[in-house]
Amino acid sequence: MLEVKGKPIIEHIISTFSAIAEIDVVYVVTNEKFTPDFEEWAAAHKGRIPIKVINDMTTSNDDRKGAVGDMQYAIAEEKIDDALLVIAGDNLFEYKLADFYDFYKKKGSSVVAAKEMPGKDDVKEKFGVVEIDGSERVTGFEEKPLDPKTALAATACYIFTKDDVREIGKYIEGGNKPDNAGDFIKWLSGHKPVFAFVFREKWYDIGSFESLGKAREEFNG
């Protein structure tokens, strides 16, 4: 709900959805504390795509479900049995979401958006790092490595096929870590094809006041 260029970050994200006619509903997953704020915002939002706010019922870091846990919670609560676009609410990006979706359709498999950073030092201990082969297939994934193998930063933007949405439940049931979506990508790419949509446009991971200030100065979305 933090503002960039005069409107909340979530508004910038949702404005990109108009380019994809297949998006028929938006689910916003949040916690107990912020549910009323998002419900108030959703009630006032005007757009063609209905928005439903999902309260994951958590109240602190001690009981939080994690990124993958929240995905599975939403899938179970809403009985989602379809392809799923997932975007973390602290992401601002200037690539065209329609290009990301076209890449997904071309590959016919789950995809992750990866920002090509200037060098390995720009991802070191900061972001999940993706390795790919010549066909853009994900061949490796490390979460905030000390010695990154590439300069491809995984952004929290994914499209999962209908079959792979079902894999999220299997991942959770297998006792795997629910915190980072990157861990699920690593697990999924170990037995199914996952591809990386590599982009060079600006991307902001709003995880600090510094990154928020930079976005407020530079973002052109």
pLDDT (tens digit per residue) in 83-119: 999 999 988 999 999 999 999 999 999 999 999 999 9
Assign 2 a pLDDT band (cuts: 50, 70, 90). confident
Q: Look up the pTM and report it.
A: 0.92
Average pLDDT of the chain to the nearest whole number = 93
Assign 219 a pLDDT band (cuts: 50, 70, 90). confident
CA distances from 147 to 42, 133, 142, 143 (A): 42, 19, 10, 11
Task: Return the pLDDT at 65.
Answer: 94
In the CATH scheme, what is the homologous superfamily, with its name and number, of domain 3-218?
Answer: Spore Coat Polysaccharide Biosynthesis Protein SpsA; Chain A (3.90.550.10)
CB 159 within 8 A of CB 115: no
Look at residues 138, 161, 38, 139 and name the one whose alpha carbon lies nearest to residue 89: 38
Amino acid making up residue 161 = T
Task: Return the pLDDT at 112.
Answer: 98
Joined tokens for residue 218? 């530079």
For residue 207, pLDDT over 90 is answered with: no
For residue 221, pLDDT over 80 is answered with: no
CB 184 within 8 A of CB 168: yes
For residue 19, pLDDT over 90 is answered with: no
Task: Return the pLDDT at 208.
Answer: 76
Task: Return the pLDDT at 97.
Answer: 95
Joined tokens for residue 75? 């899938």
Domain ranges of the chain: 3-218
For residue 210, pLDDT over 90 is answered with: no
Look at residues 206, 220, 216 and name the one whose alpha carbon lies nearest to residue 87: 206
Over residues 179-185, mean pLDDT: 92
Task: Return the pLDDT at 87.
Answer: 95
Sign of CA dihedral 205, 72, 194, 158: negative
pLDDT tens sequence across 26-69? 999 999 999 999 999 999 988 889 999 999 999 988 889 999 99
The secondary element (H helix, E strand) that includes residue 205 is strand 203-205
Task: Return the pLDDT at 172.
Answer: 95
The secondary element (H helix, E strand) that includes residue 14 is helix 9-15
